[in-house]
Amino acid sequence: MDSQPVPVAFVGGVGRSGSTLLCRMLHRLPTCVHVGEISYLWRHGVQGNLPCSCGAAFLDCSFWTSVGQAAFGGWAEVDAARAESLRRGLGARNELFRVAAGRGSSRPEDLAEYADLTLAVFRAVREVSGSAVVVDNSKLASEAHLRMQTEGLDTRIVHLVRDSRGVAYSRSKQVPRQDIDNRQMGRHPPGRTAARWVLYNFLLEAISRRGAQRSLLRYEDFVAAPEAQFRRVVDFLGIEATEADFAFVHGNEVDLIGDHGIWGNPMRLRSGPQTIRLDEAWQQQMRRGTKLRVTALSLPGMLRYHYLGSAGRAPAVATSRLPNS
């Protein structure tokens, strides 16, 4: 089993675009295991010992303890500070621009060292979970790049986008984290979010063109027809599923189960039946001036993803998939 590539379903995009929901739906399939934002494995997991989505501290979680054991003979055997420093260096902005432009990494040795760690972790996740496909909610283009460059992983990217005004509004609100004491979700000024929204989506597209299959999914289309869009994603990812495997989703109702996700949206703690609804609070709550500013700053992406023009909404089918090259 170890010689075969590990299939990775990488969910990319800007936070607050429905990625946690999509990953947790994938986790309902017997062939998939969701690991949260595994990019934070070293910093928030091994070093920070923050809670896993199962509620246990990372180093007390039985799943992650077994993964560490299978991968390295225990987490204490790995230099987590070194791993985190490699990850940060390889994800630096100038490095990403190089890769996006097709010039390759300027740090091939670091890349090889980090790829060895990554492959060991992903193989161990598969071994411990018994699930074939690892669902990775790390979102960022830098992380997509690191998965793609890891020989032994077979990475496909689901690129989630959401109207930049919805993202900017959501990221500007105060949201307490129920999962970690006294912490809030990070708050960001709408203008900065708009600029990042363009950059992150652009980089994810550019980097995935360097060798990964990518499928675009708009948050708005996803929540309007969760079951149909979910089936389309499963199909794109090449995941084997029977009709019975989809029994947890009916229309906009889903039944979620617990998992062992690292970091992520506090929504990661909610299990059981959930109703999926479009979050359009920004339309009423956001000031007109802020909406205009965010629209102007994110204009290239707003046009590219059909958020402007023809009543601001394109039919789902028109944007459901972009060519990969």
Binding site for Zn ion (CB under 5 A): 52, 54, 61, 63, 260
Q: Locate tokens 């590539």: which residue?
A: 5
> Alpha-carbon distance 7 to 4, whole Å?
9
Nearest distance in Å: CB 10, Zn ion: 21
Complex with Zn ion: residue 163 or 259, whichever CB lies closer = 259
> Alpha-carbon distance 32 to 251, whole Å?
21
Complex with Zn ion: residue 65 or 295, whichever CB lies closer = 65
Complex with Zn ion: residue 63 or 122, whichever CB lies closer = 63
Question: What separation in angstroms does the CA of 8 have from each of 40, 103, 122, 222?
Answer: 17, 24, 9, 21
Nearest distance in Å: CB 64, Zn ion: 6
Backbone angles phi, psi at 138, to 5 degrees: -80, -15
Q: What is the dihedral of CA 91, 97, 103, 107, to 10 degrees?
A: -30
Question: What separation in angstroms does the CA of 287 have from each of 231, 282, 291, 308?
Answer: 36, 9, 6, 18
Complex with Zn ion: residue 143 or 179, whichever CB lies closer = 179
The distance in angstroms from the start CA to the end CA of the chain is: 31
Complex with Zn ion: residue 52 or 217, whichever CB lies closer = 52
Kindly tell me the sign of the dihedral angle through the C-alpha atoms of 22, 27, 31, 35.
positive
Nearest distance in Å: CB 126, Zn ion: 16
Complex with Zn ion: residue 27 or 260, whichever CB lies closer = 260
Nearest distance in Å: CB 68, Zn ion: 12
Nearest distance in Å: CB 83, Zn ion: 20
Nearest distance in Å: CB 128, Zn ion: 11
Backbone angles phi, psi at 176, to 5 degrees: -70, 145
